[in-house]
Amino acid sequence: MSAHNDDSQPEKVDLDDPKLSRFDVYREGLRKDGIEIIHYEPRFAKPGTAAEKRMERIVSGLFLLSGLFATAFVAAYIFWPWEYEGAASWREPQTWYTPVIGITLGLSLLLFAVGVLTWAKKLLPIEELVQDRHDGGSAKEDRKFAESTVDTTVDDMGIRRRPFLVKAALLGAAPLGLAAVAPLGALIKDPADMLTVTGWNAEKYNEGNPVRLMMKDGALVRPDMVSAGGQITVYPAIEHGASNEFPTAPSLLIHLREQDAELLRENLYPMYQDVDALWGNYVAYSKICTHVGCPASLYEQQSQRLLCPCHQSQFNVVDNAAPIFGPATRHLPMLPLSVDEDGHFFAKSDFLVPPGPGYWNRPSLPEEDEQ
Ligand code: FES
């Protein structure tokens, strides 16, 4: 089809004229819709030239590569080892899990988008249209125009003439669709007790012996290490207890001032009273914000509040760490505390409610404790 430059006034067209080409009907249809073709020029003057075939191969290659990376993403997502196994170095495959799935999916989407753009820019006809807006429904005649428009567009895209390109696009798009759906598979896997059991669980992680509190460097924690009004971050004294293997275990041990400890004892929920969760004037709360899991560790002794720096949630330390400001809606769980005969703090049990952000079937506080 040759280039059309149309500066003249449109003439009335007889649609029953057998000499009319499909392009003429297409143009007339556009005119009826108030669209005027200003310029129309096929990208390649002669179909099937070597240059056109080369461009087809480039676009096909982009789609096929996109499909290849999408397939690699799905394979890596399912089979690449990702679980934490101690302090991993760059040589361990789990260190590369996130980069691998990010790069493969990113490249797949990028290549598919470049393929579509290249198809549009290098194979579709150059077309300039001007359209007037108008109201109203579609008459029978308009529907005929619409049909020829769709047919012309299909021909312009070369869907009939370029079966290999279409197959390549489909081959690229199919794994890409799978890549979009594959992550939903993670919802199938039962997280078991991953969300409810932490490193403070003596039965699971310390052969039934109470789990002591330690600092990041492994030093066991004694009461005289925290002065009144002070606080430190503590971890379960088990192997890798201060590592990412136990992301929900970090807690804040606070030595309350006398009057604050008194207030907390008055407000203490029955479930914490039952297990005698405080030790003297010391209390420990989960450090993982119940909003989306940032460390809530800014302790304001004067206002008795714990602040989370991420979105400014605040928790009342003398009222069971109840949320009193910001987006968090749940308390920070309290870790029941005591001191053994060697003078070291230990956890009397795991948290009584799961720490960290909420999830759909998360057990909540007993009803009377929510009051
Ligand atoms: S994570 Fe703490 S307020 Fe959002």
CATH of the domain at 269: 2.102.10.10
Domain assignment present for residue 197? The answer is no
pLDDT in tens, 108-136: 999 999 999 999 999 998 989 897 766 77
pLDDT of residue 370: 52
Looking at the fold, whether 41 and 167 belong to one and the same domain comes out as yes
Mean pLDDT of 352-356: 91
Ligand 1 centroid to 171 CA: how many Å?
43
Domain assignment present for residue 192? The answer is no
Looking at the fold, whether 170 and 219 belong to one and the same domain comes out as no
Report how many helices (DSSP H) and strands (DSSP E) the chain contains, helices first. Answer: 9, 13
What residues have CB less than 8 Å from 287, skipping those under 6 apart?
Answer: 233, 250, 251, 252, 295, 296, 297, 332
Domain assignment present for residue 232? The answer is yes
Range of the domain at 281: 202-370
Looking at the fold, whether 308 and 211 belong to one and the same domain comes out as yes
DSSP-derived secondary structure for 200-266: T-HHHHSTTSPEEEE-TTSPBP-GGGS-TT-EEEEEESSTTTTSTTSTT--EEEEE--HHHHHHHHH
Q: Is the pLDDT of residue 351 over 90?
A: yes
pLDDT in tens, 213-229: 999 999 999 999 999 99
Q: Whose CA is nearest to atom 4 of ligand 1?
A: 311
Looking at the fold, whether 231 and 365 belong to one and the same domain comes out as yes
Share of the chain above pLDDT 70, in %: 92
Looking at the fold, whether 240 and 277 belong to one and the same domain comes out as yes
Q: Whose CA is nearest to atom 3 of ligand 1?
A: 311
Long-range contact pairs involving 139-146 (C-beta distance under 8 Å, separation at least 24) = 141/15, 141/32, 142/29, 142/32, 142/33, 144/15, 144/25, 144/29, 145/25, 145/26, 145/28, 145/29, 145/30, 145/32, 145/33, 146/29
pTM over 0.75: no
Looking at the fold, whether 74 and 130 belong to one and the same domain comes out as yes
Probe residue for ligand 1, chosen from 308, 314, 324, 330 as the CB with the greatest number of ligand atoms within 8 Å: 308
Probe residue for ligand 1, chosen from 313, 330, 331, 332 as the CB with the greatest number of ligand atoms within 8 Å: 313
Looking at the fold, whether 35 and 124 belong to one and the same domain comes out as yes
pLDDT in tens, 73-99: 999 998 998 876 666 677 888 888 999
Looking at the fold, whether 63 and 103 belong to one and the same domain comes out as yes
Given a contact cutoff of 8 angstroms between Cβ atoms, the answer to whether 116 and 27 are in contact is no
Residue type, 29: G
Quick one: CA dihedral 142, 11, 148, 42, positive or negative? Answer: negative
Ligand 1 centroid to 80 CA: how many Å?
31
Last residue in a domain, options 128, 152, 187: 187
Q: Using a 6 Å CB cutoff, which residues line ligand 1?
A: 289, 291-294, 296, 308, 310-311, 313, 326-328
CA angle (53 as vertex; 164, 158 as ends), nearest 5 = 55
Domain assignment present for residue 335? The answer is yes
Looking at the fold, whether 169 and 214 belong to one and the same domain comes out as no
Looking at the fold, whether 259 and 119 belong to one and the same domain comes out as no
Last residue in a domain, options 187, 216, 238: 187
Distance CA(47)–CA(254), nearest Å, equals 79
How many folded domains does the chain comprise?
2
pLDDT of residue 101: 94
pLDDT in tens, 316-328: 999 999 999 999 9
Mean pLDDT of 95-105: 92
pLDDT in tens, 260-295: 999 999 999 999 999 999 999 999 999 999 999 999
Burial string for 46-68 (b: 16+ CB within 10 Å, else e) reads eeeeeebeebbeebbebbbbbbb
pLDDT of residue 2: 46
CA angle (307 as vertex; 305, 313 as ends), nearest 5 = 105
Domain assignment present for residue 196? The answer is no
Residue 190's pLDDT band, with cuts at 50, 70 and 90, is: confident
Residue 10's pLDDT band, with cuts at 50, 70 and 90, is: low
Ligand 1 centroid to 102 CA: how many Å?
26
Looking at the fold, whether 229 and 174 belong to one and the same domain comes out as no
Share of the chain above pLDDT 90, in %: 56
Three-state secondary structure of 139-160: CHHHHHHHHHHHHHHHHHHCCC
Q: Which atom of ligand 1 is nearest to the CA of 308?
A: 2
Distances (CA, A) of 78 to 93, 100, 176, 308: 14, 12, 15, 35
Express the helix, strand and coil content of the chain in percent, nearest 5 each: 40, 15, 45
Looking at the fold, whether 152 and 213 belong to one and the same domain comes out as no
pLDDT of residue 220: 97
Ligand 1 centroid to 326 CA: how many Å?
8
Last residue in a domain, options 159, 187, 215: 187
The tokens describing 312, both together, are 């400014």
Mean pLDDT of 295-300: 90
Probe residue for ligand 1, chosen from 248, 290, 292 as the CB with the greatest number of ligand atoms within 8 Å: 292
